[in-house]
C-alpha cells in the first residue's frame, strides 16, 4: 500500500457557549483536518487542534508544516509501516505536536480500516466505553451552579470545574456546586497553573467536605518543584497537565514522584503512538492516567477515546472538547450516552467521510 496524495484544510468552529479559563477566553477553535489517500482506495483521516498557548502552533503554521514537511516525506510511503513514518517525522515536526498527532491519527485510521477492526480493539481492547467529565469554565458562582445543574440534568456524572484566578471564590464555587448537584456527582478541579503552593493548600483544605476527585495542574508548568510540593502537602490526588508535553516530561515527573496522576493529551504528546509510550511510563511508576483534550473535532476526540479504551490504567477521561462545537465536519465519530463515550462500530477511528 502507498500514500498517493494528502489533503489538508482548516475549519473554524464557533463554540455555542464561549468559556474562560485562567489564561484565556475561548469563543471558537480552528482545527486542521488531514486525509491520506492510498492506491488501495483506503482513506485515513486525522485532525490537529493547534493552540498557540499550549502547543505553540496556529492553524497557519500547522498547515505550512504539513505542506512543507509532512507531504514530501509521506507521499509514496507505505502507511502500514506506521512507526517508521512517525519516527522519520518526529524531529522535523518537533515544534508541531498537533500536526504529528493528526498524521499519527490518519496512519492509525488506515491501519484499522485495512484490518477491518475498530482501533480500540487493535490497540488492546481493554474496555468498550468510558465515562467522561464535562467542563465548567470560569464563570460567576451563580452561573456556574446553574450550568452544573444543567449538565447533571443531561445525565453527566462527572463535572470538571475551572478556576485559578481567585482561590477564595473558587472554594465558595465548589462548595455551592456540591450543594446543588448532590453527593453522587464526581467533581474535579483544574486551576490551569493559577495557584501558588499556599493557595493550592488553602483550596484543598477549604473544599475538604466536597470530596474532590483530583486537583489538576495547580502551579505553573515551568516550575515542577512547586507541583511536587503541592502533591506532598495536600490530601487529594494531584494531576499534571500543562507540565506534561512529552515522553521525557512523563519520565521526569514519574522519576521525581512529583504528581499522583497525569493527563495525556494527544495534541501535546504527538499522537496515539507516543501516548502509548507515555502511558507505559505512567503505569511503571504507578500513576493513574486521564486522557484529555483541547477544543477538538469529534474525529480527534475519537482518537483519544480509542487510546483510552485500549489501556487498563487510563481510568479517567476528559473528552468533552467536541461538545458545543458548531459545524463539526466529523460529528458522529463518537457516541455519547448519559455521560459515557462509546466508539462507533466502524473500523479505524470510525469516521468514513469528512
pLDDT tens profile 75-88: 999 999 999 999 99
Q: How far is CA 321 from the centre of its chain?
A: 8
pLDDT of residue 182: 96
- In angstroms, the Cα distances linking 312 to 20, 243, 257, 264, 308 are 33, 23, 21, 14, 8
Q: Which among 76, 73, 75, 68 is positioned nearest to 86, based on CA atoms? A: 73
pLDDT of residue 17: 78
Q: How far apart are CA 87 and CA 264, in angstroms?
A: 20
Q: How far apart are CA 123 and CA 190, in angstroms?
A: 29
Q: How far apart are CA 82 and CA 85, in angstroms?
A: 5
**Helix, strand, coil in percent for the chain, rounding step 5:** 40, 25, 35
Domains of the chain with bracketed CATH: 3-116 (3.30.390.10), 120-343 (3.20.20.120)
* 339 SS3 class: coil
Q: Which residues are catalytic?
A: 162, 190, 216, 241, 265
- In angstroms, the Cα distances linking 146 to 175, 177, 203 are 14, 9, 22
Q: How do residues 116-146 score in pLDDT, each as one tens digit?
A: 999 999 999 999 999 999 999 999 999 999 9
Concatenated DSSP letters of 280-308: HHHHHTT-EEEE---S--HHHHHHHHHHH
pLDDT of residue 27: 81
Q: How far apart are CA 275 and CA 303, in angstroms?
A: 11
pLDDT of residue 22: 61
Q: How far apart are CA 271 and CA 273, in angstroms?
A: 6
Q: Which among 225, 237, 297 is positioned nearest to 263, based on CA atoms? A: 237
CB-based contact 57:96 (threshold 8 Å): yes
pLDDT of residue 16: 82
- Segments of the chain with pLDDT less than 50: none
Nine-digit cell at 138? Answer: 470560569
Amino acid at each position: 500500500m502507498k500514500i498517493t496524495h494528502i489533503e489538508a484544510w482548516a475549519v473554524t468552529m464557533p463554540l455555542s457557549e464561549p468559556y474562560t479559563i485562567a489564561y484565556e477566553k475561548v469563543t471558537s477553535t480552528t482545527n486542521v483536518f488531514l486525509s491520506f489517500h492510498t492506491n488501495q482506495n483506503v482513506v485515513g483521516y486525522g485532525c490537529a487542534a493547534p493552540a498557540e498557548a499550549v502547543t505553540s502552533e496556529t492553524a497557519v503554521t500547522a498547515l505550512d508544516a504539513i505542506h512543507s514537511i509532512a507531504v514530501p516525506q509521506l507521499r509514496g510511503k507505505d502507511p502500514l509501516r506506521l512507526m517508521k513514518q512517525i519516527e522519520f517525522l518526529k524531529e522535523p515536526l518537533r515544534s508541531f505536536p498537533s500536526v504529528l498527532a493528526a498524521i499519527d491519527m490518519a496512519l492509525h485510521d488506515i491501519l484499522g480500516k485495512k484490518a477491518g477492526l475498530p482501533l480500540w480493539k487493535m490497540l488492546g481492547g481493554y474496555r468498550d466505553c468510558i465515562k467522561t467529565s464535562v467542563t465548567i469554565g470560569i464563570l460567576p458562582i451563580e452561573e456556574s451552579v446553574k450550568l452544573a445543574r444543567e449538565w447533571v440534568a443531561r445525565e453527566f456524572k462527572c463535572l470538571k470545574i475551572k478556576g485559578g484566578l481567585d482561590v477564595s471564590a473558587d472554594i465558595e464555587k465548589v462548595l455551592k456546586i456540591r450543594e446543588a448537584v448532590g453527593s453522587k456527582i464526581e467533581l474535579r478541579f483544574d486551576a490551569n497553573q493559577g495557584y501558588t503552593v499556599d493557595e493550592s493548600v488553602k483550596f484543598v483544605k477549604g473544599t475538604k467536605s466536597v470530596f474532590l476527585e483530583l486537583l489538576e495542574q495547580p502551579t505553573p508548568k515551568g516550575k515542577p518543584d512547586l507541583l511536587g510540593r503541592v502533591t506532598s502537602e495536600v490530601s487529594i490526588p494531584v494531576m499534571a497537565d500543562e507540565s506534561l508535553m512529552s515522553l521525557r516530561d512523563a519520565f521526569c515527573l514519574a522519576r521525581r514522584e512529583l504528581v499522583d496522576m497525569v493527563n495525556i493529551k494527544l495534541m501535546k504528546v504527538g499522537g496515539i503512538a507516543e501516548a502509548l509510550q507515555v502511558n507505559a511510563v505512567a503505569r511503571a511508576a504507578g500513576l493513574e492516567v486521564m486522557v484529555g483534550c483541547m477544543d477538538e473535532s469529534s474525529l480527534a476526540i475519537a482518537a483519544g477515546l480509542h487510546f483510552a479504551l485500549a489501556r487498563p490504567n487510563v481510568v479517567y477521561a476528559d473528552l468533552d472538547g467536541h461538545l458545543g462545537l458548531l459545524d463539526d465536519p466529523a460529528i458522529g465519530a463518537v457516541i455519547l450516552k448519559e455521560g459515557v463515550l462509546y466508539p462507533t462500530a466502524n473500523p479505524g477511528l470510525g469516521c468514513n467521510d469528512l
